[in-house]
Structure 1
Amino acid sequence: MIQQLTEALFPVLSLIVLGAVLGRKTDFFSGPSLSGLVTTVGIPALLLHSVLTMDMNIWGMGEVIVLTLVWLGIMSLVTAGLLAVAGLPVRSYLPALVHPNTGNMGIPVCYALFGPQSLGLAMVISSVIQVSHFTLGIGCLSGKFSFRALIKNGPVLALIAGAILLAAEIRLPSPVMTTLDMLGSITVPVMLMQLGASIANLNLSRVRDMVRPLAFSFYRPLGGLLIAWLLLLVWPLEGMQAQVFMIQCAMPVAVMSYVLAVKYRGPAEDVAVTIPLSLVVSIGIVVGFSLVN
């Protein structure tokens, strides 16, 4: 089990380190163009390909989507309340503390713990979170929410198209699926290297600069796990499905939260520092799950 977890996490950590080296030595990650490519092309392709390749019927998919949306709503309300009590700007920090890294972290971790039968559920949860980045996340950071912008949003359209094709039992031609797979494959590596470049260029001159990210790094995985557990008490899932749901909700701060914080001039440095710190906490939770199961 430890070997499987190491194999799942090694590529993620390696890409972050590579991005840190390139961020110090080159200007590959300066400017918004690379982030724009990922958010407008890579993520929609990745979402559509994931939905069309998962082993789950439309009704099971619908239940998981609704459950994840309920979790997002509760997590958002609790987090907003805590931020307000702490005197921190709610709109600036809410997206990062609510959205877990269910994609490039959650999916491989679930595979390592539960095998290929967990991938469909993990991908559906990840798809909902990705869409939330571009609704709740952008709405908070930009201060604007437009239904017109929502229905024109690439990830939203990709998820809707995938659900329609899945419900109609329509299979896209193999060359189209291969194209989607290739386009989606650019997303995770670029995002992880961008994160590494940002961490490498941080300027934290005082110890107290770490206090807030350290608190956030514990809250994101542990708070998400607790709310997921409480929600499953009233909305139970089967054994493996419940465990996958809790693991996904306990993942660290998402890399996409950092990408959006940079794009909309949010607290990018705090988010960047919180990601690796919360990763350590999430790994501890995952190890605990592996030992119990």
Structure 2
Amino acid sequence: MSLLGIFASAILPIIAIAAVGFALGRVKGVQPDALNTVTVYLLAPALVLHSLATSELGGSTILEIVAAVAVFSLAMIVLAEGIGRASGRSEPLLGAFVMVVIFPNVGNFGIPLADFAFGQVGRSVAVLVTAVQGVLLYTLGVYVAARGDEGAVRENVKRVFSLPLVYAVVVALAARWLGVVPATDSTVMQTLELLGNASIPVMLVVLGIQLSSVDVEGALRPVGLASGVKLLAAPAVALAAALLVGFGDATVARVVVLLLAGPTAVTPIILVGAFSGDTDGITASEFVSATVFLTTVASVVTVTALVAILQSGVVI
């Protein structure tokens, strides 16, 4: 498939739906809170339950996915710390720099992208990666944002256990292990499928609304380095992690690389805003917000190229 064809089939639907959310945010002043709550507590868990319960991902594949995400995150921490310190950044901007480089938007950007690019396998892998990253965000992410405030870290690590996604993964995997997954044509599974399918467009609308409220005026230039590392270095690190883990299924490996190479996640804006200290000039929150905006826009080019490379089977 040509780059134009890949763009039209995998990237354009994402842009179009997110653009609707962006317009709603800018023109109507719509806030993402209500939609985000519905997504986090209802739609996304339903997607996780249905996708993992009905997917063909084996236990070894699940372990491979978790291992690849862990290896990638560790490598990106080392890389981000090194580049951040070498460029003269200090706290709290150093913590913000590390946050935007480590965490890709595997939720409201990655799940639809993987679904459009790789179908059911892509969706199943994406929901698992999203759950794993949810745990990392509220443990490792809080630590990086707080940088030494042990009380804040300890208190907010508890948020991991309030995430429905985590429990949805446990329930789905337990049902598979016990052999009690309902038939796909049962009322329960059809309801979960309906709710799960609704989560994908809603996630993109929420992403658009979130981007519409980002204040990037005067903040784009300072985030160029972070954005470059996120969009150019992260794909190479993700590929290295996938090859190191040695996936038995090449398609799963390609989806993992695609997800980890995506634009910066939105959640770091919240974490940095809650725990980061004050600074002169651009604030840590403005730095993260501008990076989210820039990497999301620029990823239209980088992700299209990456999908073409991955679908060709040249590297994996």
Query: TM bucket by the smaller chain?
Result: 0.7 to 0.9
For structure 1, the residue ranges without an aligned partner over 5 or more in a row are none
Q: Give aligned-pair identity as a percent.
A: 22
1:117-132 to 2 correspondence within 5 Å?
119-132=123-136
Q: Judging changes above 3 Å, is the alpha-carbon distance between structure 1 residues 188 and 222 closer, same or farther for their aligned structure 2 residues?
A: same
**Alpha-carbon distance in 1 for matches of 2:113, 2:103:** 17
Q: Judging changes above 3 Å, is the alpha-carbon distance between structure 1 residues 123 and 39 closer, same or farther for their aligned structure 2 residues?
A: closer
Quote how far apart the aligned CAs of 1:123 are. 4.2
Q: Which residue of 2 aligns with 1:176?
A: 188
Given that residues 64 and 245 in structure 2 are in contact (C-alpha distance below 8 angstroms), is that contact kept between their aligned partners in structure 1? no
Report the 3-state secondary structure (helix = DSSP H, G, I; strand = E; otherwise coil) of the residue aligned with 1:102. coil
Quote how far apart the aligned CAs of 1:15 are. 1.6
Given that residues 84 and 90 in structure 1 are in contact (C-alpha distance below 8 angstroms), is that contact kept between their aligned partners in structure 2? yes
Given that residues 80 and 90 in structure 1 are in contact (C-alpha distance below 8 angstroms), is that contact kept between their aligned partners in structure 2? yes
Q: What is the one-letter code of the residue matched to 1:269?
A: S
Quote how far apart the aligned CAs of 1:114 are. 5.3
2:265 to 231, 235, 254: 254
Q: What is the one-letter code of the residue matched to 2:179?
A: E
TM-score, normalised with respect to structure 2 = 0.74
Q: Which residue of 2 aligns with 1:46?
A: 47
Given that residues 106 and 251 in structure 1 are in contact (C-alpha distance below 8 angstroms), is that contact kept between their aligned partners in structure 2? yes
1:189-228 to 2 correspondence within 5 Å?
189-206=201-218, 209-228=219-238
Given that residues 141 and 268 in structure 2 are in contact (C-alpha distance below 8 angstroms), is that contact kept between their aligned partners in structure 1? yes
Given that residues 191 and 255 in structure 1 are in contact (C-alpha distance below 8 angstroms), is that contact kept between their aligned partners in structure 2? no
TM-score, normalised with respect to structure 1 = 0.79
Quote how far apart the aligned CAs of 1:18 are. 0.9
Q: What is the one-letter code of the residue matched to 1:19?
A: G
- Is 1:284 the counterpart of 2:305? The answer is yes
**Alpha-carbon distance in 2 for matches of 1:170, 1:263:** 42
Quote how far apart the aligned CAs of 1:105 are. 4.4
For structure 2, the residue ranges without an aligned partner over 5 or more in a row are 147-151, 277-284
Given that residues 109 and 203 in structure 2 are in contact (C-alpha distance below 8 angstroms), is that contact kept between their aligned partners in structure 1? no
Q: Which residue of 1 aligns with 2:96?
A: 92
What's the Cα RMSD here?
Answer: 3.4
Q: Which residue of 2 aligns with 1:269?
A: 289
**Alpha-carbon distance in 2 for matches of 1:258, 1:134:** 13
Per mean C-alpha deviation after superposition, the further-off stretch among 56-65 and 187-196 is: 187-196
Quote how far apart the aligned CAs of 1:164 are. 1.5
**Alpha-carbon distance in 2 for matches of 1:187, 1:139:** 29
Quote how far apart the aligned CAs of 1:260 are. 6.0
* Alignment size in residue pairs: 290
CA-to-partner distance for each residue in 1:114-139, whole Å, 9 max, x for gaps? 56555544443343234433443455
Q: Judging changes above 3 Å, is the alpha-carbon distance between structure 1 residues 96 and 124 closer, same or farther for their aligned structure 2 residues?
A: same
**Alpha-carbon distance in 1 for matches of 2:37, 2:126:** 26
